[in-house]
Structure 1
Amino acid sequence: MADHHHSNHHGHHHHGAGQDDEAAMAELLDLDAEVLQSYLSDVTAWIHELTADLPARRILDLGAGTGAGALALLQRFEGAEVIAMDMSASHLRHLEGKARALGVAERIRTVQADLDAAWPAVDTVELAWASNSLHHMADPDRVLANVFAALRPGGRLVAVELDSFPRFLPHDLGLGRPGLEERCHAVMDERRAAELPHIGSDWGARLAKAGFTVQAEKTFVIELTPPLPTATGRYAQASLRRLRSGLDGRLSAEDLATLDTLVDSDGPDSVLRRDDLTVRAVRTAWVARRP
């Protein structure tokens, strides 16, 4: 699902992240996959239906992270193999461990690579998957050209991008800071726009420019309400902690203190103990065919 930015926890292309940061990111990516399992099932079912004319035997996962997409695709495409590319060696090791635990290690090959640099040689594939990674690339058009070259004629690229980062909190928290979560994201949206110039790109147009034929586009609106997956509280805590790390000096002291209260594991108002959480996010997926 590339992380050049403190608040973006859904991509998997890492530059210079410390060990502690990578461990925290790995936990967050695993929680994302666990809580959003129904979304992963929906998107992979949609892809499977659209690619029935050229069954995927080899799949290239671009920015594989800890393997949410790779493992979901293996489950959907029986008999397929995945080449999982990511810059983070620790995330790839984590992915390998998960694959062993699930009994699919022989179906995954990990490749450590910087997607913005020259790619190592990979086998031609029928399907490529880029989840929340393209907007992190220094030159996404070059990356798309590389994907085009890696696909068999008739093969597909599935590009998924975030329309909105996950929200968890009600507008009125009962802590005297209504609208806190939206204020946090508004501040971070300004920072993302400055640091990630390709976020919000017209990906359909970029895919067409790279030579692809855009076969389909679909928006997935994620709205989870109680009863929620067991890991939701931990997912909210990890997400808000990552958001909090980029907000010093950007929000009022009162907002920051309230956010600290929410992510505190031991406090009575921690997101781990709240019964009013929801999970709200929007992601758009494009299926593009190499002619």
Structure 2
Amino acid sequence: MAAHSHTHAHSHDGIDWSSRLTALRQADELDGEAHRVVARRLVRALPDNPTVLDVGCGAGGMSVALVEALSARGGGTVVLVDGAPELLDVATGLARSAASYETDTSTTTVHIRPVLADLATERPADLAGPAQLVWASNVVHHLPDQRAAVLGLVDAVAPGGWLALAEGGLEGKFLPFDLGIGEPGLQDRLAAARAQWFVRMRENTEGAVRMAGGWNTALAEAGLVEVTAFSYLIDHPAPAKQAVRDWAVNRLQWHMEVAGDLLHPADRRTVSRLLDPHDSAFLGLRDDVFLLTANTVYVGRKP
């Protein structure tokens, strides 16, 4: 990949997010229904014509769900913030398509505003505050100082507005316990390797500060009240559609890229068979691949 495609914005965590576009879009497709339910739940409490800030919007999966939820209740503004131009372009295109659809009764107006920004150095409040809802999904854990990042998000919330932070949950599963090749229990060893990689990624992030405690504590300490949380499932049981198998192949590939060196050589051999389209064990053709994961959303109101 050419050097210029690495945006400065995501270099803190060492991940080239533009190269992850296909995988992000795949995941968004599979998470679509769950995202719509979450978006409706979050916008229900908002005043008319609110501003919603999608921080670290990625490929736009939740952006689209938020646009649809606002359309259904008369309109508003969705501000998309991301540091990778390729992702922001895709998210903006998808959000604009979703904003212009007509309901049976009327044409609702949702305004879309994209903002290219590096969240480690730029304050969300300066970019697009104050918003009645700030949504940030799996973005804070990539920033050097997570507590400072939460404070920055809270600054962007209008008084009486809400911050919804999607972080944590349960590690996704997609492999049966015994694949018929290699030692059973590969999924758990992949998860352990990924957890080790994550700790290493945080340690190697320049200026990284540890944040002890849970996300609810961080929200309360940042001055939010009525702090609660809910979790939602993404559940595509086996036998799953091809899109799930394709996602699983990409996911396993990504596990290898980031944490392959932390796996036992025997597991690495198993994985290379699972990723080989010419092998009888190829993951993309297995009927027993599935997707089951739980995401947690922490919510708090600004007094």
TM-score over 0.5 (shorter chain): yes
1:187 lines up with 2:193 in the alignment: yes
Corresponding pairs, count: 276
- The structure 1 residue matched to 2:113, chosen from 106, 109, 113, is 109
Conserved 8 A contact 1:127-1:151: yes
Q: Which residue of 1 aligns with 2:104?
A: none
Q: What whole-Å deviation, never above 9, does each CA across 1:108-147 have from its counterpart, x for those lacking one?
A: 2111111111334324211100111122221222222222
Conserved 8 A contact 1:212-1:290: yes
State which structure, 1 or 2, has the greater radius of gyration over its C-alpha atoms. Answer: 2
Q: Which residue of 2 aligns with 1:67?
A: 60
Conserved 8 A contact 1:135-1:199: no
Structure showing greater relative contact order (alpha-carbon pairs closer than 8 Å, 6 or more residues apart): 1
- The structure 1 residue matched to 2:166, chosen from 160, 165, 173, is 160
Question: What's the TM-score, normalizing by structure 2?
Answer: 0.82
1:14 lines up with 2:10 in the alignment: yes
Q: Which residue of 2 aligns with 1:7?
A: none
Deviation larger for 161-170 or 125-134: 161-170
Distance 2:197 2:127 in 1: 35
Question: What's the TM-score, normalizing by structure 1?
Answer: 0.85
Q: Percent sequence identity over matched residues?
A: 27
With over 3 angstroms needed to count, the CA separation of the structure-2 counterparts of 1:234 and 1:17, relative to structure 1, is farther
RMSD between aligned residues: 2.5
- The structure 2 residue matched to 1:118, chosen from 102, 122, 141, is 122
Conserved 8 A contact 1:193-1:199: no
> 1:256, CA displacement in angstroms?
0.6
With over 3 angstroms needed to count, the CA separation of the structure-2 counterparts of 1:174 and 1:200, relative to structure 1, is farther
Q: Which amino acid aligns with 1:260?
A: S
Distance 1:228 1:187 in 2: 26
Deviation larger for 224-233 or 123-132: 224-233
Conserved 8 A contact 2:40-2:66: no
Distance 1:17 1:203 in 2: 20
Q: Which residue of 2 aligns with 1:39?
A: 34
Q: What whole-Å deviation, never above 9, does each CA across 1:172-195 have from its counterpart, x for those lacking one?
A: 001132111211111221221343
Aligned pairs for 1:243-262 (under 5 A) are: 243-262=255-274
**Which one has the bigger helix percentage?**
2
Distance 2:193 2:181 in 1: 20
With over 3 angstroms needed to count, the CA separation of the structure-2 counterparts of 1:229 and 1:287, relative to structure 1, is farther
Deviation larger for 219-228 or 177-186: 219-228
Q: Which residue of 2 aligns with 1:48?
A: 43
Q: Which residue of 2 aligns with 1:151?
A: 157
